[in-house]
Chains A and B, each alone.
Chain A
Amino acid sequence: MSSDLVMDTCLLAGSIILKNGGETYRTEETMALIAKAAGMDDVNSSATPTSIILSFRCSGLDHTRMVRTPKRTTNLNKITLVNDVSRQFVGGKINLEQAYRTLREIDQKKQIYPKWLQHLAAATASGSFAMLAGGDWGSLVPSAMAGLIVNLSQEYLEQFVRMKFFTEFSAALLGGLFALLTVTVFPQLHLSIIIIGAMLPLFPGIAITNSLRDLMAGDLVAGVSRGVEAMLTAVSVAVATAIILSFTR
């Protein structure tokens, strides 16, 4: 078994997990499990939210490589698929070449839900969350539309603005402006309910859960940095809301 292929497979699996919003400890564990199952000695893997290092010993030679993952999205489907591949490989059901080929296919995969469905989902989430927060049936449609605007503008602005937090801030601002406009036109609606619903697509759920899981797994650096990411997102949404609210005074 060539050590190059083992290295490629491990790094590919690790970078798919990290790129698509997986936990850091899962990245490290998966790479170490694959390398050990492939018969490598002295396996050490280390991951931060932006880079992966893997080293092992194969027939007297040390191999170490590092990759960076600058751009990150959230696609939990790919993480589940990589998890399946590593389980199958470790369980001996597929060989290394098959695992590598499957991982390449997973890496090329598009998102399982089409774009329009995701925007519709953002609208649904916003609308139903606004009603959970105490809205009546009349506030369902405006908050759904505000959530749709937040999600659309987040996706559109991402292509131009390199800074994630500024994208979130602008998206929250646009959604809030829409809410303000709606309340000005229809004064019987509550601004609070619509804004609470509209900001839901920006809630940093993945960052919070991953940060906690990393901290619990003992990955303190990754856990703290994910936690800071979640806090910065929350702060940018809060500041955008405060700006919108200051218009109402």
Chain B
Amino acid sequence: MLLKGLALSFASSVAWCVLFNVPVRTIVAAGLAGVVGFLVYSILPIYGAEVLLSTFVSAAAVSLLSQLLSIILRVPSTNFSVAGIIPLVPGSLAYKAMLAFVNNDYVGGITQATKTLMVAGAIASGLIFGISVLTIWKGARYAGKRAQRD
């Protein structure tokens, strides 16, 4: 079951890369980012994490991994993070919200829409978390170099 999910997340990430003309030499790495995101996203709930927490952690993992890959392969990190968050997209939540609105269940619709927005916010803050961690690391390294020079 997990294996099927991993294969599917790899396929959807790589296909998404092709849609956005990601360079050929980075496409497998971008698929890997998607797989890691999905892996974290599906393993955390087993240990009792909620959807929001697991989305946040997996988005942060994707973001950190894309920053690392961008340093290793010397390409912009957008190449990886865009594809990596695809398995996390809250598609079914958004669909449920629309379904509830159409069926005149406004309270249920607002509940689902808020959930969707929270998950989207978790993806966003996870990505931001990854970027900031690396910025701090870069800043620390820069400060270290400056201290050596002085």
- Shortest Cβ distance from B77 into A: residue: A213
Contact check, B21 vs A112: say whether CB atoms are below 8 A apart: yes
Other-chain residue from A151, A205, A216 in contact with B132 (beta carbon distance below 8 A) = A216
- Known contacts A128-B8, A132-B38, A209-B81, A246 near B102 by CB under 8 Å: yes
Shortest CB–CB separation between residue A242 and chain B, in angstroms?
5
- Known contacts A132-B12, A210-B78, A213-B78, A125 near B19 by CB under 8 Å: yes
Contacts of B95 in A (CB 8 A): 192, 195-196, 241
B98 contacts chain A at the CB level, 8 A cutoff: yes
Contacts of B76 in A (CB 8 A): 22, 26, 76, 79-80, 83
Shortest CB–CB separation between residue A37 and chain B, in angstroms?
17
The interface on chain B, measured as residues whose beta carbon lies within 8 A of the other chain's beta carbons, has a size of: 49
Contacts of A242 in B (CB 8 A): 98, 101-102
Contacts of B81 in A (CB 8 A): 209
Contacts of B74 in A (CB 8 A): 84, 87
Contacts of B5 in A (CB 8 A): 132
Contacts of B68 in A (CB 8 A): none
- Shortest Cβ distance from A134 into B: residue: B92
Other-chain residue from A22, A122, A195, A212 in contact with B19 (beta carbon distance below 8 A) = A122
Question: Which residue, B15, B86, B87, B92, has most C-beta atoms of chain A within 10 A?
Answer: B15
| CA distance in complex: A75, B19 (Å) | 9
Contacts of B83 in A (CB 8 A): 205
Contacts of A118 in B (CB 8 A): 18-19
Q: How large is the interface on A (under 10, 10 to 19, 20 to 34, 35 or more residues)?
A: 35 or more
| CA distance in complex: A87, B74 (Å) | 10
| CA distance in complex: A72, B82 (Å) | 17
B124 contacts chain A at the CB level, 8 A cutoff: yes
Contacts of B98 in A (CB 8 A): 238, 241-242, 245
Contacts of A117 in B (CB 8 A): 18
Other-chain residue from B78, B94, B97 in contact with A206 (beta carbon distance below 8 A) = B78
Contact check, B99 vs A192: say whether CB atoms are below 8 A apart: yes
Contact check, B86 vs A129: say whether CB atoms are below 8 A apart: yes
Contact check, A124 vs B15: say whether CB atoms are below 8 A apart: yes
A-contacting residues, B68-126, CB 8 Å:
74-76, 78-79, 81-83, 85-87, 89, 91-92, 94-99, 101-103, 123-124
Shortest CB–CB separation between residue B63 and chain A, in angstroms?
9
Contacts of A112 in B (CB 8 A): 21, 23-24
Contact check, B89 vs A129: say whether CB atoms are below 8 A apart: yes
- Known contacts A206-B78, A249-B102, A213 near B131 by CB under 8 Å: yes
Question: Which residue, B4, B17, B20, B79, has most C-beta atoms of chain A within 10 A?
Answer: B20
Contacts of A121 in B (CB 8 A): 14-19
Shortest CB–CB separation between residue B73 and chain A, in angstroms?
9
B-contacting residues, A108-159, CB 8 Å:
111-113, 117-118, 121-125, 128-129, 131-134, 151
List of 10 A-B pairs having minimum Cβ-Cβ separation, nearest first: A121-B18, A125-B15, A124-B15, A121-B15, A128-B12, A196-B91, A128-B11, A128-B8, A75-B21, A245-B102
Extra A-B contacts (11), CB below 8 Å, given A128-B15, A196-B95, A205-B82: A26-B76, A76-B23, A77-B22, A80-B76, A124-B11, A128-B12, A129-B8, A197-B91, A205-B20, A210-B78, A213-B131
Q: What are 23 A-B residue pairs whose CB atoms fall within 8 Å in the complex?
A: A23-B78, A26-B76, A76-B82, A80-B75, A83-B75, A112-B23, A113-B18, A117-B18, A122-B19, A125-B12, A125-B15, A128-B9, A128-B12, A129-B89, A131-B8, A200-B12, A200-B16, A201-B19, A203-B89, A205-B85, A206-B82, A241-B95, A249-B103
